[in-house]
Amino acid sequence: MPAPTASPTTTPAAALPTEPSAEAAARSRFGPVALVVSAGISVQFGAALAVMIMPRAGAAGVVTLRLAAAAIVLLLLCRPKVRGYTRSDWGTVVAFGVAMAGMNGLFYQAIDRIPLGPAVTLEVLGPLALSVVVSRRLVNLLWAGLALGGVVLLSGHGGGGLGFGSLDPLGAAYALGAGAMWAAYIVFSARTGRRFPQADGLALAMAAAAVLSLPLGVFEAGADLLVPSTLALGVGVAVLSSVLPYTLELLALRRMPAPTFAILMSLEPAIAATAGFLVLNQALSGLDALAIALVIAASMGAVRSQIGKQPA
């Protein structure tokens, strides 16, 4: 609808159209969704890069490089203050760091043993379970069920057609454990974002995660961690898989309910399958495409239900 033209006697404020404010409100609602999707793309392509450098440093070594490099970058950028916080604040940020270290450590052990698509498919069951447990709205349970259907379908064909029956049992167990830690990550990321300004809490939690992972990485990779080419690739994985996505997710969780965020995580298997195809030459089948369509439909439904319950 065209905006009304103000006459010489019309008050300019009274002549302002209502559409721009509605558009601004829509942008503010879709903003967190764009942050989450961008984070998912970044983290899965970072995981594909990590698979390529695992022969150099091992799974634990890659995790150490990723978390240590990410911690250094975030600490330099954020320069977080360490005074003025309560014991509860520090407990929250340490728990966030433990969740990050556990999620990354278990996931990289998983993708060292099983393909990327099935690993992420199993891992995403953690956020899906969180959405079912935490949500108090029936519609979120329905969208979670649809997403779970897509995840189950993808589970039999992701990663070049490998089903769960052919997966390494230990690798599958690591992926499920990573999913449980991912659910904890969502909870403590939201709490940290409320207690610490900007990305200060993320920087401090990342430092705690790096300290926890360092002994395992040094034990497995030793001096190989200091090879310049390996260090450079590790920094790339850190930026793609930690610095950028965790910052985007932290910002999103300040403006998005945790159940909706958890359902949006159902996009991760689709993104992982795409990254596996483009970077690791893992082919997609027709059933893969159908599964991807289901999880995307569920995520879009979750977004619409979130937007619909907010005041205009």
Report pLDDT for 312. Answer: 43
Instruction: Give the mean pLDDT per block of 10 residues along the chain (312 residues).
Output: 40 43 52 82 83 85 89 89 88 94 92 80 78 70 77 58 62 90 88 85 92 90 83 86 81 75 70 73 67 72 60 45
Report pLDDT for 271. Answer: 77
In the DSSP assignment, the letter for residue 95 is H
Report the amino acid identity of residue 185: Y
Report pLDDT for 4. Answer: 40
Report pLDDT for 27. Answer: 52
Q: How far apart are the first and last CA of the chain?
A: 19
Report pLDDT for 159. Answer: 44
Report pLDDT for 243. Answer: 80
Report pLDDT for 311. Answer: 47
**pTM of structure:** 0.72
Helices (H), the chain: 19-78, 87-111, 116-123, 125-134, 138-155, 158-161, 169-195, 200-221, 228-238, 244-253, 258-264, 268-280, 286-308
Report pLDDT for 12. Answer: 41
Report pLDDT for 309. Answer: 54
